[in-house]
């Protein structure tokens, strides 16, 4: 569909590949828009039975391309990043991820909405929202404590430190950890297995598993988006972004 997002449908498996390897698949507004459109098309296409997402070049995604993100900040619900987040949160078809290398920010929060996640042994995850003067998104402030418990979720979301694939397995973010070279093929094999199952049964099973939380997830995402937009223009965020580009440690003391 574009140079930085590749898609293809093979035997019922719709594969979305983030393909900007020279930037560790850092996401631009154009990439978000392309992927949001791809998810909507896949959800509507009866030939698509399963959706798989992965990254090219040995990484899942480094999260937002900060230059592009600040040039085109998401200030309303039609922003490409929010369209993408809403798209994967509302998917009814099975959603599978193959994670290699880095999975930063939305690269980790989207996994909380996947049905199956397979990670390479050297994969590294991070949720650096607070480090950037921002707040969680994609209902991660709800879903991560439910998965990991409050203490471990607080460690991940408030300290924003990178954590390993083994840690992601322990807290329930991923299903299995495999040798890096085997991750994509294993995820594809699981997708092919899903395509042999009754499609209606899979959709209904997913719907039933998410039924009790669905309204709360939507409400949480809306609240998170409003707070996130406010934080984008905060002094903390401006200092964090300036420090990132100037390659120095941020100084938040003057804002506390």
Q: Is residue 124 part of a domain?
A: yes
Q: Is residue 189 part of a domain?
A: no
Whether residue 79 is predicted with pLDDT greater than 90 in this model: the reply is: yes
Read off the pLDDT of each residue in 194-208 and give the average, rounded to a whole number.
98
* b/e code 64-73 from CB counts within 10 Å (16+ = b): bbeebbeebe
Read off the pLDDT of each residue in 236-251 and give the average, rounded to a whole number.
93
Q: How far apart are CA 235 and CA 215, in angstroms?
A: 33
Q: How far apart are CA 106 and CA 103, in angstroms?
A: 8
The range of the structural domain enclosing residue 149 comes to 1-180+199-256
Going edge to edge, which strands form the sheet with 124-126? 102-104, 124-126, 163-164
User: How is residue 248 annotated by DSSP?
Assistant: S
pLDDT band at 23 (very low <50, low <70, confident <90, very high): very high
Q: Is residue 192 part of a domain?
A: no
In sequence order, which residues have a C-beta less than 8 Å from that of residue 199 and are 6 or more positions away? 49, 93
Q: How far apart are CA 170 and CA 147, in angstroms?
A: 10
DSSP for 29-56 reads HHHHHHHHHHHHHHHH-TT--EEEEEES
Residue corresponding to tokens 């930063």: 104
Computed over every residue of the chain, the mean pLDDT equals 96
Distances (CA, A) of 208 to 39, 184, 197, 201: 21, 28, 17, 10
Whether residue 254 is predicted with pLDDT greater than 90 in this model: the reply is: no
In this prediction, residue 214 carries a pLDDT of: 93
Q: Is residue 9 part of a domain?
A: yes
Percent share of the chain, pLDDT over 90 = 93
In this prediction, residue 1 carries a pLDDT of: 60
Q: Which class for 98: exposed (0-12), middle (13-18), buried (19 or more C-beta within 10 A)?
A: buried
Q: How far apart are CA 21 and CA 10, in angstroms?
A: 23
Q: Is residue 188 part of a domain?
A: no
- The torsion defined by the Cα of 101, 132, 147 and 37, in degrees rounded to 10, comes to -70
Q: What count of residues does the chain have?
A: 256
Q: Is residue 91 part of a domain?
A: yes
pLDDT tens for 115-158 read 999 999 999 999 999 999 999 999 999 999 999 999 999 999 99
Q: Is residue 185 part of a domain?
A: no
DSSP for 66-91 reads HHHHHHS---STTSHHHHHHHHHHT-
Whether residue 56 is predicted with pLDDT greater than 90 in this model: the reply is: yes
Q: What is the CATH number of the domain that holds 254?
A: 3.90.226.10
Q: Is residue 134 part of a domain?
A: yes
User: What's the structural domain count of the chain?
Assistant: 1
pLDDT tens for 220-243 read 999 999 999 999 999 999 999 999
pLDDT band at 98 (very low <50, low <70, confident <90, very high): very high
Q: How far apart are CA 141 and CA 115, in angstroms?
A: 18
Helices 199-232 and 235-246: crossing angle, nearest 10°? 90
């Amino acid at each position: 569909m574009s140079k930085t997002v590749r898609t293809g449908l093979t035997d019922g498996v719709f594969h979305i590949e983030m393909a900007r390897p020279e930037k560790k698949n850092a996401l631009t507004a154009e990439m978000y828009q392309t992927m949001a459109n791809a998810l909507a098309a896949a959800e509507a296409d009866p030939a698509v039975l399963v959706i798989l997402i992965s990254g090219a070049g040995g990484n899942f995604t480094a999260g937002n391309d900060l230059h592009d993100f600040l040039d085109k900040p998401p200030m309303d619900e039609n922003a490409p990043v929010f369209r993408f987040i809403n798209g994967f949160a509302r998917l009814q078809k099975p959603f599978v991820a193959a994670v290699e290398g880095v999975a930063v920010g939305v690269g980790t929060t989207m996994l909380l909405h996947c049905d199956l996640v397979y990670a390479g042994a050297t994969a590294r995850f991070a949720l650096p929202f607070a480090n950037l003067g921002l707040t969680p998104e994609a209902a991660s402030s709800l879903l991560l404590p439910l998965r990991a418990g409050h203490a471990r979720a607080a460690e991940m979301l408030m300290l924003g430190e990178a954590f390993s694939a083994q840690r992601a397995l322990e807290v329930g973010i991923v299903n299995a950890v495999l040798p890096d070279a085997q991750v994509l093929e294993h995820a594809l094999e699981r997708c092919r297995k899903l395509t042999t199952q009754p499609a209606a049964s899979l959709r209904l099973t997913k719907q039933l598993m998410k039924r009790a939380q669905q309204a709360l997830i939507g409400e949480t995402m809306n609240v998170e988006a409003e707070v996130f937009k406010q934080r984008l223009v905060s002094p903390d965020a401006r200092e964090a972004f300036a420090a990132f580009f100037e390659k120095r440690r941020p100084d938040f003391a003057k804002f506390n």
